Structure 1
Amino acid sequence: MTTAKTTTNRQDIERYIRVDHAGERAAQQIYRGQLVVLDKHPMGEEIRHMMAQEVEHLETFDSLINERRVRPSLLDPLWGAAGFALGVVTAAMGPKAAMACTIAVEEVIGEHYQKQAENLGEDEAELRTKIERFRDEELEHRDIAVDYKGREARHYKLLHDVIQTGCRTAIKIAEKI
Structure 2
Amino acid sequence: MLDRLVVELDRVLRTLAAPARTVRPLPGADLPEADLDATQRGHVGALMRINHVGEICAQALYQGQAITCRDPAAREALRSAAIEETEHLNWTAARMAELGARPSLLNPLWYGGALIMGVSAGLVGDRWNLGFLAETERQVEAHLQGHIDRLPPGDQKSWRILEQMRQDEREHAHTAERLGAEELPAPMRLAMRVASALMTRVAYYI
Trace 1:102-113 onto structure 2 (pairs within 5 A): 102-113=133-144
CA apart distance, 1:138 = 0.8
SS at match of 1:43: helix
Larger proportion of helix? 1
Match of 2:129 in 1: 98
Which runs of 5 or more structure 1 residues have no equivalent in the other structure? 1-5
What is the one-letter code of the residue matched to 1:78? L
CA distance in 2, matches of 1:49, 1:67: 28
> Counterpart of 1:3?
none
Kindly indicate whether the alpha-carbon contact (under 8 Å) linking 2:57 and 2:110 is maintained by their aligned counterparts in 1: yes
Distance 1:114 1:134 in 2: 10
What's the counterpart of residue 75 of structure 1? 106
Residue deviations 1:44-72, cap 9 Å, x none? 11111111011110111222233332121
Amino acid at match of 1:107: R
Contact 1:32/1:87, CA 8 A, preserved across alignment = yes
1:72 counterpart SS class: coil
1:157 aligns to what?
186
Q: Tell me, yes or no, if structure 1 residue 144 matches structure 2 residue 175.
A: yes
Q: Out of 16-25 and 137-146, give the one that drifted further.
A: 137-146
Distance 1:152-1:108 versus aligned 2 partners, 3 A rule: closer
CA contact (8 A) 2:42 2:101 kept: no
Query: Which AA in structure 1 matches 2:190?
Result: D
Offset at 1:39? 6.5
Deviation at 1:157, TM superposition (A): 2.5
- Return the offset for 1:90: 0.3
Residue 174 of structure 1 pairs with residue 198 of structure 2: no
1:27 aligns with 2:65: no
TM-score normalized by structure 1?
Answer: 0.86
1:13-24 mapped onto 2 (5 Å cutoff): 13-24=44-55
Once the two structures are aligned, what percentage of the paired residues are identical? 24
